[in-house]
Structure 1
């Protein structure tokens, strides 16, 4: 039998299908068990199914691995994945780990791990791709690489504390921010903090927007004030305000003082409102134009790549000034309406006069009813003088309506959540069900409105 060899770093993120070709989810990690006198045995994979739920897929239910996809029998346990003491996750715990080479040539870093099929439904760790430290001038300042057998390395720390955070970040570079946030939440807390500390400011800002506030506060607590301020001012103002509101008053004020004045002013304005009101939920940087602006100008603004889809759904028209709080709010023009008119048409002549703004003091429930009743993506928010101060988008409302831990992979209720999962063997059919097929994809990460 020819050997099938798959590198785990390339396998992570691959789609998982059943025999009929229906997509079940994506591979997030490979789970192995150490053996005393042999290479680690692969017992299964961690896959993410719709709803951001991470479940265990036994290797016995894998029909084939290859060509950028995994084919299964179509039957999986939908219990949340719970790592056992004897199990090790390759991506989260082995990639990036420092090891010693048994030939006495020194140390190296694990950059990838190959798993090989050694029999029907039997896989084990084969070769390991390692990189030695740089010992002299080398292209790009990196050391030599080599393929070695598992038996030719000795791990310095099986607890994973020596694993390089940079290596884990590299293996998740292509993940959307929402998926990376889910990956970090699945790590032990100390490991999560180490990885977050290595992310760039913009990437960390995107991740914090997708995390529960409690986890975000822990990450901010680890950062120095200067970097925390840089990250906060890169975030959407409403998300930054939610995080700052959870910090001690002294640190909140210190971070606001360090932020750029424009971003800090937006956050301070949001903090002045009750979080369960339109003012507390709104985004204070909608697209704002004058009544004399043309359809062409409006369409040019909503085409910006960095603009969140919900914010690009409409243009707000006001009297000067055009920065919140603006002059008197005149109306809103939805992008579909702009598409029906010639480029030179003035926005003031095609205002939607039926969409009434809400006061900043309106309750979250009232805003939700308006969005649902009139099938809106966003609703303008005005102050007592009818000046535009922001807009509430549908995703702002969803953040309030969903449970606090909806971003967590453990958010979904499970009748046997307190029970230990059944033994993971290919003949186990307890608590096995067919995963719903062709489920719509998750919400894409929010963009920047700057």
Structure 2
């Protein structure tokens, strides 16, 4: 099989393939002989039909199949051997006519898109802002109160007050305000913190067992996912409610008494003698909160690096080829106009992929299987710790790791995580980062704009 490349423009080329009988004849003959062994043709014993009959009946489809298989393997072998940097995959030139019945030498043409040449240079002249998120007093107090609640005690007061949990029987009312027959009915705990309407929230304050009152549930609970769960109905059923008015009958009141911020709490949370005062307790919380924000700061930096390098590193793309290729390879039926409308987003993604691949090559960033296994073990250990469980023993751990990495999607996800970690280290080292303190709320606003 002879393959030659002819560049049609700077970033597109055409591969011309000539397939001769010596390339395919032996394989076609072998398949046809196998067909004959198993062929059951009326008038002949199995495997005894004349070869001429087998050739006449099966040669053309076998020839088409064998040549197409060869084309696939040989094209990719040529691209690999000749180190042709392609974007997408070879695409057959349209309207090629092949006479499979009469020709013995076949000619094929394929279009290919070529990857552009470009340089990625990063130095201290390249400046980016690294946002260091600070936990303000409000956040620290909220976290401290949450911890106090987590270690608090539950009691059952006779009368509810703000912030209590009210366990109710919830029954749908009809349009006349009466209990609806075959309407929605459930028992659930109502947390006042999730009631958005202030007037409705007041209805749950100062109530005791057996008290009843009416509530418009959609007005009270704007989070419809939580509301569906509370009523034990689907989101579709929630949308189709014939009446939004429900009767709530109190069955129990629970009060969470937060633990006092004293030595006993400090030791439960951080261990003996680690923290001695409320000031030290909140300082520890602030430190932990700001450490947890590092992930978000790093994500922002990665986003800024992407945008910065996409703007800085300029190169052309084989756009015409890529648009046609996207139409050709799409699993769904799409036309060129549809591709055009989304092409900028696709092109940006591909351009970044090329830049990132160049960065991996320039800075010799690699991930090996041992690192993948080690990182997977760390993720498993972290997950177990979150549930207060110890890490599995070595044999069990290795079994879990093997099962996870046997799944292609999971394996790719972990490889990507490690590449992200390593490229982030390069960005932090090579860019000139200007550290800027920012409150968490301001950071969230900034991130939403980007």
Task: Tell me if TM exceeds 0.5.
Answer: no
Higher relative contact order (Cα pairs below 8 Å, separated by 6+ residues): 2
TM-score (norm 2): 0.22
Normalization by structure 1: what TM-score?
0.22
